[in-house]
Structure 1
Amino acid sequence: MAQYFAYKARNLAGDLITGKIEAENRNKAISQLRERRIFVVDIKEAPALDAGIKLDRFFQPKVGGRELAVMCRQFATMVQAGVPLLQTIGIISQQSDNKTLKKTMKNVGSNLEGGKSLTDSVKPYPRVFPDIFTSMIEAGELSGDLEHVLERLAVIFEKEHYMKEKIKSAMTYPAVVLVVAVLAVTALMVFVLPTMTQMLIDMKVPLPVTTTMIIALSDFLRNQWYVVFGLVIALFFGYKAAVKTGRGKKLKDNIVLKLPVVGPLNQKIIVSRFCRSLSTLLRSGVPVLQSLEVVKNIVNNHRVNMSLLDAERSIKEGQSFAKPIQRSRFFPPMVGTMISIGEETGSIDSLLEKVAEFYENEVDDMVARLSSLVEPVLLVGMGLVVGFILVSIMLPIFSLYDNIQ
C-alpha cells in the first residue's frame, strides 16, 4: 500500500527543498527522488494529502474567480517575458494576498522541483484549480502555447466573477429587506401582540377566527421557539443531504428551471457559461470529448448533462455534435444553429463565443429588471402581512367599542 513521505532534500544547484512524495516504502521514496536528481537530507512518514477532516479547511479563505483571473494574468505576463516556470510560481506565491492560493502555489512549486509537469503539479488541488484550469493548462503544455491559454483562462474567470458579483449586488438590497421584514414580523408577534391579546382575553371580547389564529401563532412562537429553530436547521441540513443524491439533484435542477423569473434567468446563466467554457477549451486545443466532460462539471445541471451525454455518444459514433443540442429541450435554437454552422465552417469556438456574449448581455438585462421588480414586491408583501396582523387585532377592539356605544 502506498504511503506519503515528507522530505527535505537538495537539488543539483545545492538548494534546500521540501515536499511530499507517494511511494510503497521509505527506500523506494528515496530512489524515486534520486531519479529526479534530488538528494534526500531527511525523510519521514506523513499523513495522506487528503486524509481526515482538517478543521483549517473551514477557516481558510476561498480562492474565487477574481484571484484566479489575477493569477492567470500575472502568469501569462511572466511566461511571455521568458521568466522560468519555477521562478514564476515563486513570484506569484509571494505576491498573492490570498493565503490559500499562496500556500497552494508553494506546493505547486515543490511539485515542479520534484520533476512533475505543471499539469501534474496543479491536479492535486481541485479545491483551488477547477477542471477547466487543469485541462487547459495540459493543452497549453502540449501545444507550447501556455501564454495564450493563461490569457483565455483569465478572461473566463473574469467573466464568471463579473456575473456572480452582478447577481449578488442586485440581490443584496432585496435580501436585506426580506430579513428586516421577517425580524419585524417576529418581534411584533412575540413582544407586541401578547400584551394586546391578553387585554382582549381579560375583557372576554368575542374573537374572530383570524384573531384566534394570530394569537395561537404568537403563543407558539413564544413558547415553542426551539421547535421552529430545530425545524429550520433540520430543513437546511436535509436539503443539503438531499441535493447530494442523484434523485435530489435532478429534482432541484428541474424545480429551479420551472420557477417563474428565476428559471429563465438560471437557464440563460447556464447557456452563457456553457458556451463561454466550451469555446475557450476548444480554442485552447482541448479535444472535444474532454471539453464536454469539463463543461459538464462547470455547468453542473442534470438536464444539461443529459444533453451533453447524448452529444458525446453522437460524436463517438461519428455523427453531428449539433443535432443532440438541437433536439435538447433545454438549449435555445440559437445555440444548436450556431454549433451546426460552426461544424460546417470549422469555427465552433468563435461562434460559441458570440453566443456567450449575447446571453451574458441577456443576463445583465434580466438581473437589472429582477432587482427593480423584487424590491416593490417585497415591500408590498411586508405591508400585507403586517396589515393582516394589525387588522386581526383591531377588529375585536372595534367590536368592543361598538358594544360600549
Structure 2
Amino acid sequence: MAKFVYTGRDRRGPKKGTLTAHSKKEAIEKLQSNGIRVKEIEQKPETFWEQDIVIGRAVKLEHMVIFLRQFAALLQAGVTVVDSAFILSQQTDSKPLRRALTNMEADMREGRPLSEAAEKQKKIFEPLFINMLKAGEATGTLDQTFSDLAVHYERQHRTRQKVISALAYPVVVGIVAVFVVIFLLVSVVPTFVGMFEDFGGELPAITRFVIYSSEWMQRFWYVIALLAVLAAGAVWLLRRRPESKIYIDYAILRMPLFGNLMRKAVLARMTRTLSSLFSNSVPILEAMDITGNVVGNEVIAGVIKESRQSLERGESITGPMQRHWAFPPLLHQMVAIGEETGSLDQMLSKVADFYEAEVETVTDRLKALIEPLMIVLLAAIVGTIVISIMVPMFEIFNTVQEGS
C-alpha cells in the first residue's frame, strides 16, 4: 500500500489530507466515493523507516517463476494483459511483486504498454525481462515470451541452488568449528589452568600454546569481533566499487576447488541469457549489453564487452573469447559454429544445457569430497585442544600414582 497526498473539494469546502491505496487510480476512486472532487493528488515519498529492507534480489526467483508461468497461462486462456496483472497482484506471496503489479496495472489502464509499465519497476524487473517483453509485444507473442522467461528463470534458479548447496556445507561447518573452538578456549580450558599451576612442572608445548590462546581470547575477544566486522565491511565496500569488484571476481574464478564451479555457473548464466534474448528477436548488440549487466561477474562481463566491440568492427564475436582463459574451447567453438550457420541461439542454448549439467555434476562431486574433509578438519582442531588438556592430566595421574 502506498500513501497519497491530495487536495480537493466537497460540499463543505476545500479538503486536503492523506490516504493509503494500492494505486493512484484506486486513491481517486476512494475519494470520489466519499464525495470529494480531486484537484491534485500525488504519491507521498516513503521515509527510510517505511521502506522495505531488501537484501539481494527484491523478488525471489521461485516467486518470479510462478508469476511468469501464471501470466503465460492467463494470456493463453484469453485474459487481457491488464486483467492478468490485476489477478496476479491479488494472489502473489511476494509483497514487492504485488506492489509492482498494482502499479503496472494502473499504468496500463492509463494506456501505457506492458513493457513501459514494467520498465518503471526497475527494482523488480531486470533489463533482460524488459527487453524480452518489448520483443514479445512487437511480435505479438507475449504468452510465449512469458513461458520462455519462466523457463529461463527456472533454470537459473536451479543452477543457483546447486552452487549455494555446494558452498553452504563448508561455510556452516567452518562457522560451527569457530564457535566450538571459542567455547573450548573460553569456557573449558580455563577450568584446568589452576590444576596445572598447582601441579607445577614443565607443561608440554601444545598445552602452553592452548593456554596462551585461551588467555588471549578471554582478554582480547573484542579484537576478533572487530576484525570480523571490519573484514565483512571491507568486502562489502569493495564489491560495490567497480574498479575493485573485478579483482574480487577474478579471485573467485581462480579459487581452489570452487573456482571451476563458479566459472561454469557464470558461463551457464551468460549463455542462457544470450540464448533467451536471441531467440526472442532482441538485437544482438543490445542483447550483449544486457547480458554484460546481468551476468554477475565483472571478468566475464569485460569479455562480453570486448566481443560486442569486435562485432561492431565487423569481426567475429568469438575473438575475445578465444583469447581469454575463462572461456573453454567448447564454448567459443560452438559460438563460432552458431555464427556460421545462423543458429546462434540454438548453439548457446546447447552450451547452457551443458554447463548447467556440469554445475550439477561438479556440486555433487564437491559435496562428496568436502564433507569428509571438513569432518576431519573439525576433529583435528577439537582433538588438538583435547589432547593439550589430556596429556598434562595423564602426567599428573602418573605422578600421583608414583607418589602413593
TM bin, normalised by shorter chain, reads 0.7 to 0.9
The answer to whether the 8 A contact 1:8-1:19 is kept is no
- Identify the residue that residue 186 of structure 2 maps to in structure 1: 190
Deviation at 1:335?
Answer: 1.0
Q: Does 1:275 align with 2:271?
A: yes
Q: How does 1:134-173 map to 2 (within 5 A)?
A: 134-173=130-169
Aligned residues: 375
Q: Match of 2:252, as an amino acid?
A: V
Q: What is the rounded CA distance, in whole Å, between the counterparts of 1:227 and 1:383 in structure 2? A: 26
- Identify the residue that residue 19 of structure 1 maps to in structure 2: 24
Q: Match of 2:351, as an amino acid?
A: V
Gaps of 5+ in 1: 10-15, 21-39
Q: Does 1:41 align with 2:44?
A: no
Deviation at 1:42?
Answer: 4.2
Q: What is the rounded CA distance, in whole Å, between the counterparts of 2:346 and 2:215 in structure 1? A: 63
| Aligned equivalent of 1:72, options 49, 57, 68 | 68
Q: What is the rounded CA distance, in whole Å, between the counterparts of 1:236 and 1:384 in structure 2? A: 27
Q: Match of 1:58, as an amino acid?
A: I
The answer to whether the 8 A contact 1:197-1:393 is kept is no
What secondary structure is seen at the aligned counterpart in 1 of 2:41? strand
TM normalised by structure 1 equals 0.85
Deviation at 1:183?
Answer: 2.4
- Identify the residue that residue 58 of structure 1 maps to in structure 2: 53
Q: What is the rounded CA distance, in whole Å, between the counterparts of 1:17 and 1:370 in structure 2? A: 47
- Identify the residue that residue 110 of structure 2 maps to in structure 1: 114
Higher alpha-carbon deviation: 381-390 or 323-332: 323-332
Deviation at 1:57?
Answer: 1.6
The answer to whether the 8 A contact 1:170-1:371 is kept is yes
Deviation at 1:231?
Answer: 1.8
The answer to whether the 8 A contact 2:163-2:261 is kept is no
Q: What is the rounded CA distance, in whole Å, between the counterparts of 2:244 and 2:265 in structure 1? A: 21
- Identify the residue that residue 98 of structure 1 maps to in structure 2: 94
- Identify the residue that residue 226 of structure 1 maps to in structure 2: 222
Q: What is the rounded CA distance, in whole Å, between the counterparts of 1:202 and 1:212 in structure 2? A: 15
Q: Match of 1:57, as an amino acid?
A: D
| CA gap 1:164/1:325 in 2 versus in 1, 3 angstroms | same
What secondary structure is seen at the aligned counterpart in 2 of 1:286? coil
- Identify the residue that residue 360 of structure 2 maps to in structure 1: 364
- Listed one character per residue, the Cα deviations across residues 254-312 of structure 1 (whole Å, up to 9, x for unaligned) are 11111111000001001111111100000001111111111112212121122111111
Deviation at 1:153?
Answer: 0.3
Deviation at 1:43?
Answer: 2.0
Q: What is the rounded CA distance, in whole Å, between the counterparts of 2:172 and 2:74 in structure 1? A: 43
The answer to whether the 8 A contact 1:335-1:355 is kept is yes
- Listed one character per residue, the Cα deviations across residues 365-389 of structure 1 (whole Å, up to 9, x for unaligned) are 1111111111111110011111211
Deviation at 1:172?
Answer: 4.5
- Identify the residue that residue 380 of structure 1 maps to in structure 2: 376
Gaps of 5+ in 2: 9-20, 26-36
Q: Match of 2:349, as an amino acid?
A: E
The answer to whether the 8 A contact 1:6-1:19 is kept is no
Q: What is the rounded CA distance, in whole Å, between the counterparts of 2:135 and 2:340 in structure 1? A: 24
Q: Match of 2:52, as an amino acid?
A: R
The answer to whether the 8 A contact 2:334-2:347 is kept is yes
Higher alpha-carbon deviation: 322-331 or 59-68: 59-68
Q: Does 1:248 align with 2:244?
A: yes
What RMSD, in angstroms, separates the aligned Cα atoms of the two structures? 2.6
- Identify the residue that residue 236 of structure 1 maps to in structure 2: 232
Q: What is the rounded CA distance, in whole Å, between the counterparts of 1:111 and 1:141 in structure 2? A: 16
Q: What is the rounded CA distance, in whole Å, between the counterparts of 1:204 and 1:286 in structure 2? A: 80
Q: What is the rounded CA distance, in whole Å, between the counterparts of 1:6 and 1:161 in structure 2? A: 40
| CA gap 1:123/1:359 in 2 versus in 1, 3 angstroms | same
